[in-house]
Structure 1
Amino acid sequence: MTVFEWDSQELILYESLFMAPTGLCSLMFSICYIRFNFDKKIPVRIALLLGLSLFIFFFIATFPWPFISSTIPYAHPKNETAYFKQSEAAAALLQFNETGELVGCNIAYKWCETTPRINLPIFYISTILVLGIGIPLFAISLDIIYSTVLGPIKQGVLQGLFSSSGDIINIFGPIIVT
């Protein structure tokens, strides 16, 4: 929201529009993985490294590199002049009397003045690739490794525990860390 100067409604709209290509990419990748027997053609450890490489690509592509010229604008009313200096934005907000939603970076954050903006097309293309290919590749490869470790036993309960423990970590991990 901050970097792209979106209000709440725009954020929900644009993020939901990109969920469809991400889901389709994930579905197509999973179908291709099964149909073309990628598990027999690509060793599982190599597949994990490929998934990790996609995540590293995402962080490199979306990193706010210092050579990017535009910075994050400070909070301002939607479709009005954006200020890129903290002092100018603070002075402009003193004159703002409406109760509408502001877009941009919070005035209290000095770092917005020097932090480069992320390119929107690069952000979404890399997000679709990582969420649509990287996560399914990781999930399939980890399931294969786990089933190999378990060996030739009935694996239903243990696979269910493995899957649910990942979900529990996704729910409580951020709460514990913060």
Structure 2
Amino acid sequence: MMMFMWDEKDVVYYESIAHAVRGVFAICNYGAYIFCDLGKKVNDRLCCLCSLFVLLFFHLVTFSWPFLPEKVHSYNGTLVNSSKGCDISQLNWCEDMTRVNIWIYYIAISSCIGIAFSNINITMNTLFSHIIGPRMQSKQQGMLEMFGGFGRMLGPLLIGFMYTNNGPRVIWLVEMGEIVLMIALWLFFYRRLVPLKMPPGDDAWTDRESTESEGRQQNGKQSLTGSVT
């Protein structure tokens, strides 16, 4: 890792430890929802909002601020054969990059990411389901997963491009901008992020959804019977 002057073996070793600790935080958090009914004791809207602030806090404390005392070790790859540090012959932003404290970085990435992501996964999906209401959700849930898949597909490509051309500072700034935007939107629509409520006795739309679902199931059974015979 460029920031801490590690070779490939060190990166794999320490990143594996960080992933394991992050997984422990996530498992404990999921366990609290399963065994302690945490979902009944917390407000989904507020919990998700707080998790976004935790992600913002992580980026702030791990940002390569210009006033940090230590500089990242840099070298010229055309003159020195090394894989530790930042190669100024390939990356023109190396000389101005400051070094983040290793303990702050790994404590933050293990605890903040482990807790925030697991909370967002539970509260956002639960809230999304409640907002849609008691009806067929396959289309809405499919769209949610589709856009999530686009993010996982395009994210690494964009991050790699920005890292090569601009360094980790720009990546951190872009991610912080996205988080701030999400916090602003969450606060703006906060009062509307509530479970869908229908007037008492108004079940016409629910009956229609149920009828359509039963019709599709019946057609499927008829098609299966016809193919067997």
TM-score > 0.5, shorter chain as reference: yes
Q: Which residue of 1 aligns with 2:164?
A: none
Counterparts in 2 of 1:74 and 1:175: CA distance versus 1, 3 Å: closer
CA distance in 2, matches of 1:102, 1:169: 30
TM norm structure 2: 0.61
Q: Which residue of 1 aligns with 2:59?
A: 59
Q: Which of 145, 149, 153 in structure 2 is aligned with 1:167?
A: 149
Q: Which of 105, 111, 120 in structure 1 is aligned with 2:86?
A: 105
**CA deviation digits over 1:112-168, x for unaligned, max 9?**
333220011110111012221110111111111111122113546754663454234
2:47 aligned with 1:47: yes
Once the two structures are TM-superposed, the CA of residue 49 in structure 1 deviates from its matched residue by 1.2
Q: Which residue of 2 aligns with 1:139?
A: 121
Q: Which one-letter code corresponds to 2:122 in the other structure?
A: I
Contact 1:69/1:116 (8 A) holds in 2: yes
CA distance in 2, matches of 1:120, 1:176: 25
Q: Which residue of 2 aligns with 1:19?
A: 19
CA distance in 2, matches of 1:125, 1:9: 20
Cα RMSD of the aligned pairs, angstroms, is 2.6
CA distance in 2, matches of 1:111, 1:173: 21
CA distance in 2, matches of 1:168, 1:63: 26
**CA deviation digits over 1:49-99, x for unaligned, max 9?**
111111111111101223321101113xxxxxxxxxxxxxx4x963x4xx5
CA distance in 1, matches of 2:36, 2:119: 14
Contact 2:23/2:114 (8 A) holds in 1: yes
Once the two structures are TM-superposed, the CA of residue 46 in structure 1 deviates from its matched residue by 0.6
TM norm structure 1: 0.76
- The aligned length equals 159
Contact 1:48/1:138 (8 A) holds in 2: yes
Equivalences for 1:123-138 in 2 at 5 Å?
A: 123-138=105-120
Q: Which residue of 2 aligns with 1:148?
A: 130
CA distance in 1, matches of 2:106, 2:158: 29
CA distance in 2, matches of 1:16, 1:139: 22
Q: Which one-letter code corresponds to 1:38 in the other structure?
A: L
Contact 2:22/2:114 (8 A) holds in 1: yes
Counterparts in 2 of 1:127 and 1:152: CA distance versus 1, 3 Å: same
Structure 1: gaps (5+ residues): 76-89
Structure with more contact order per residue of length (Cα contacts < 8 Å, sep ≥ 6)? 1
Contact 2:88/2:95 (8 A) holds in 1: no
